[in-house]
Chain A
Amino acid sequence: MNQDTAARPATQAGTSEGIGYFARFGVTERMIAQTLATALARGGEHADVFFQHRVGSDLGLEDGAVNRAYATVELGVGVRVVKGDQTGYGYTEDLSLPALLECARTAAAIADGPSRPIPERLHVRAGLPDRYPLIRPWEEIRPQEKLPLLAGLNERAFAADERIKKVNLFLRDESGAILIADSSGRIVEDRQPMTLLYLSVLAEANGRREQNGYNVAGRAGFDFYSPERLDRVVREAVARTTILFDAVTPPAGEMPVVLAAGSSGILLHEAIGHGMEADFNRKGVSIYADKIGKRIAQPFVQIVDDAANAGARGAINVDDEGNDAGTTHLVQDGVLTTYLHDAISARHFGVRPTGNGRRESYRHAPLPRMRSTYMLPGPHRTEEIIRSVKKGIYCMNFSNGQVNIGAGDFTFYVKNGYLIEDGKLTRPVKDVNIIGNGPQALERVDMVSDDLAIDEGGWTCGKDGQSVPVSQGLPTVRVSSMTVGGRGS
């Protein structure tokens, strides 16, 4: 990643000019400086101001017509004051100076001491990486350009299989801008595009119904929707639905679980990712607390949390605290290397922030969060892994997962998969939850293939009432035993 930290003055002349993107809302360097000074007036150690403008547009197709559109605008600012592990936070939709100062006073009340100075001049941080370059920004794409895409997909989904009875489509695009200024005098700006396309189909045969879908997402522009990607959306949505007519519910109990390459990265997100978020470890409530430097998996297991996958939904150029965001190695050669830090936890542990300080919006203070979490390729072959299982389950597609941070128990819900019988994929399976314990499941990862795939789906991670976009990936992996929440024996 680009580590340049070249700095330039925030404004070329004077201190009252509008600043960067937010100049259009009347935000000036002087306002920011006054806000930061007020924020530290009662002895806070660190303050930051987070401006956000996010414009979203959704088009929906139902019953054959694009007949609904949704537009959203979020504009606001959050002011944070930190003292040790303590945080004061205030936010407002009003970007005027009096409103900013009111937020700053609210946040400042977390501390109780003499005021601290802020630098005389603020500096705009230059040289950020460019992980989501756009050919055309979304603001320039007219609805008339998007409508045929949805109409075409609708037609193709119906044409793909006569059992398809309902098609729902959603196309979302987002243009986001953030500006973070902090009491070290640093100002960082980023423009964050996002798009997501969801195709859901309902199929009917012999009086039975099945529903499933496929979605793709990324920090990208309209050109994201290449003919190949759109082909895949239709093909996958239809195949993932129609196969359910032949699917059985797997047996209940412990058995080997093989995770297909791609969205199976949900295993990492739940089994280790959340547990490695440093706030839980700072508080001593994670099952991974005190485990840094310890072997937790086979030596061929390498796990990263990566901000740098260009165009990925989980990619960021900079985190929501203005810190560099790159590739963080959670597990190297089976050994736990580092937690995922925000600024508070990094100070607590005396390490550099890892660029994991993220927030849903200006209404929330940042927390350590994942970005794109995946396992690097390993030494085994996919065929060899499937062949090795006498009786087990092969998991392909997922809808959701969850974890208890301290107990370590986690789950993921399988929408599509297969039974493995005598080393072969046999009958399709559906709708089954799989449950395990994080450290135990990682210990039991005993085969890792070389076919790493980062999933292109629109994953959203929830924590403390905040949702952030993430990505995940995995090569084909065998976990020697987990509990499969099926029925029968």
Chain B
Amino acid sequence: MSDLLEITRRAAALAREKGATDASAGSYRARHVEVAWRDGKVEKVSEATTRGLGLDLYVDGRYAAVSTSDLRPDALDRFVEDAVALARTLAPDPHRRLPDPELYRGQAKVDLELDDPDYSKVDATRRRAEAEAIETAARAVPGASAILSVTTSVSDTRSESALVQTNGFEGERQGTDFWIGAEVAVQDPDGRRPEEYAASGGRFRSAMEAPEAIGRRAAERAIARIGTRKGESAVLTMALDNRASGRMVGMLFGPLAAAAIQQKRSFLEGKLGVQVGSARLHVKDDPLVPRGLGSRLYDGEGIAARPFPVFEQGVLKSYYVDTYYGRKLGIPPTTSRSSNLAWALGGRSQAQLLADLGEGVLVTGFLGGNSNGTTGDFSLGVRGFRVRGGRLAEPVGEMNVSGNHLELWNRLTAVGNDPYPYSAMRTPTLVFEGVQFAGT
């Protein structure tokens, strides 16, 4: 047993001592190191071991949640005492309870491989060398004379957490992650200084691409932005680059939360079992992917993690239901938030998809904008490339796309074979027909 689990047990016991009927205690400790490098030298090194504790308190049918980084025993004692007193001032809430302990059972018997044994091999010298190698590669691409500045970063984290719930759950986990990235700014002859980035990372160091590949990609992407113009307002086919499509997918998934459903703030309320997208929209939530960025054996409530379908051939199969809002809605919990998304992939690469679509826009990045989760209306700034004759043409920017999700996802005509590996959403390139672009 780790000392972190022991600390967490003591916090849960303290909550009971101070008058809580039940409690959920979670604590974490993480070591995070980040090196930022810019234009030939280290820009910043940040290094720390950080910690914190959170408690959900169930006090005579009332609820308060607290978190603190002040773990001195006396301070903690007073803090929990105050929090219990605070809870007692509130209105009772019959729906606030710890999960049914049945849901704790049946954790998958698999090794998710979230803790890289090579973590200890990373040292300051190696981080600096990688950060420098990214820049060197960026500055070696054709057209590099346009480069104004290269900022690179190398970071790693090892974290441990423990969760103890007084109705019979105890869990602890450890994990690592590693990231490298580059941002490259270039001079456009028109006076603009467009910037692009590339990043790679994962639970294991071995998941990362070579630093040189990231430097090259960031530089090539930035150079490709030179000459960006605003395109004309038109209804066009939109291909969403796999790196960008996560934003659009997030706007579809947010309203699947039981809180949004129960509070009537979801355009997906009442849509279970209903076709809300084209048959290409086929996505599973899979928490058990080895080395997955969203992988877990139990969720934040201690509920044993299981894969489940979210969309099957465009039909909505499940919401994300936590214990509290599940009780309010009278439906069983699934899990409170998404883990890894597993898409039914298409057979074609992005280049092939662009060749198929002929005329349109490849959107490579969003800028601001928002989506109204209640109505499904969205309006988002975009940049990318015009696609003409099935090939990438001029870069376009300062444009906008708008629509409604209930229409958009029905116009999903193709899904690429290229899940983005550096996000738990693992989104592929997505192609939508008939999207309103605003420009000139």
Task: Give the B-binding residues of A (Cβ under 8 A).
Answer: 53, 57, 59, 62-63, 65-76, 85-93, 103, 106, 109-110, 142-144, 147, 165-166, 168, 202, 204, 208-211, 249, 252-254, 270, 283-287, 289, 363, 365, 399-413, 430-437, 483-489
Contact = CB atoms under 8 A, between A and B. Distances in A.
A168 B402 CA distance: 28
6 contacts: A53-B70, A69-B86, A87-B43, A91-B50, A211-B372, A433-B369
Contact of A483 (B48, B265, B328, B400): B400
Contact of A62 (B86, B263, B401): B263
Interface stretch (B165-173, B330-338, B373-381): B373-381
B132 to A, nearest CB: 14
Nearest to B383: A409
A487 B370 contact: no
Contacts of B403: 487
A287 B193 contact: yes
B201 to A, nearest CB: 15
A287 B187 CA distance: 10
B439 A411 contact: no
Given A87-B44, A210-B375, A435-B399, 5 more contacts: A71-B65, A76-B69, A90-B48, A401-B368, A431-B378
Interface stretch (B87-95, B282-290, B340-348, B349-357): B87-95
B111 interface: no
Contact of A73 (B68, B93, B398, B438): B68
A98 to B, nearest CB: 13
A264 to B, nearest CB: 15
A486 B194 contact: no
B43 A85 contact: yes
A363 B48 contact: yes
Sort A-B residue pairs by CB-CB distance and give the 10 closest, nearest first: A485-B400, A411-B368, A402-B368, A406-B193, A252-B438, A65-B91, A433-B379, A73-B68, A67-B93, A411-B381
B66 interface: yes
Given A407-B225, A489-B233, A73 B79 contact: yes
A287 B192 contact: yes
Contacts of A432: 379, 402
B82 interface: yes
B400 A67 contact: no
A252 B402 contact: yes
Contacts of B188: 407
Contact of B92 (A53, A67, A285, A365): A67
Contacts of A254: 439-440
B267 to A, nearest CB: 8
Given A431-B375, A431-B377, A489-B233, A71 B370 contact: no
A404 B17 CA distance: 52
Given A87-B45, A406-B195, A483-B399, A147 B89 contact: yes
Interface in B59-86: 62-71, 75, 79, 82-83, 86
A283 B149 contact: yes
B89 A110 contact: no
A168 B263 contact: yes
Nearest to A63: B328
Nearest to A102: B49
B193 A407 contact: yes
Given A75-B69, A252-B233, A413-B369, A90 B96 contact: no
Contacts, number: 267
B400 A143 contact: no
B179 to A, nearest CB: 12
B432 interface: no
Nearest to A105: B47
B45 A109 contact: yes
Contacts of B398: 409, 435-437, 483
A93 B230 contact: no
Contact of A68 (B64, B194, B369): B64
A289 B148 CA distance: 11
Contacts of B438: 252-253, 435, 483-486
B437 interface: yes
Given A90-B46, A289-B193, A432-B402, A202 B264 contact: yes
B41 interface: yes
B191 interface: yes
Contact of A67 (B67, B96, B148, B263): B96
B42 A86 contact: yes
A68 B90 CA distance: 7
A411 B383 CA distance: 12
B151 interface: yes
Contacts of B436: 252, 486-488
B67 A407 contact: no
A92 B375 contact: no
Interface in B224-267: 225, 228, 230, 233, 263-265
Given A68-B64, A69-B64, A483-B399, A435 B440 contact: no
A74 B1 CA distance: 27
A267 B75 CA distance: 44
A137 B38 CA distance: 44
A253 B439 contact: yes
A92 B48 CA distance: 7
B251 to A, nearest CB: 12
B51 A93 contact: yes
A290 B393 CA distance: 32
A404 B66 contact: no
Contact of B263 (A69, A166, A208): A166
A60 B83 CA distance: 15
A407 B41 CA distance: 25
Contacts of A208: 375
A433 B400 contact: yes
Contacts of B377: 249, 430-431
Contacts of A435: 367-368, 381, 398-400, 438
B124 interface: yes
Contacts of A431: 370, 372, 375, 377-379
Contacts of A147: 89-90
A88 B402 contact: no
B314 interface: no
B185 interface: yes
Contact of A284 (B68, B69, B93, B149): B149
Interface in B417-440: 436-440
Nearest to B79: A73
A252 B369 contact: no
Nearest to B42: A86
B46 A487 contact: no
B91 A66 contact: yes
B302 interface: no
B277 interface: no
B397 interface: yes
A473 to B, nearest CB: 20
A410 B49 CA distance: 36
A252 B44 CA distance: 43
Contacts of A287: 191-193
B381 A252 contact: no
Contacts of A437: 398
A85 B36 CA distance: 12
Contact of B45 (A72, A110, A168, A209): A110
Contact of A86 (B41, B48, B440): B41
Interface centre among A209, A401, A405 (most CB of B within 10 A): A209
B86 A210 contact: no
Contacts of A75: 68-70
Contacts of A411: 367-369, 381, 400
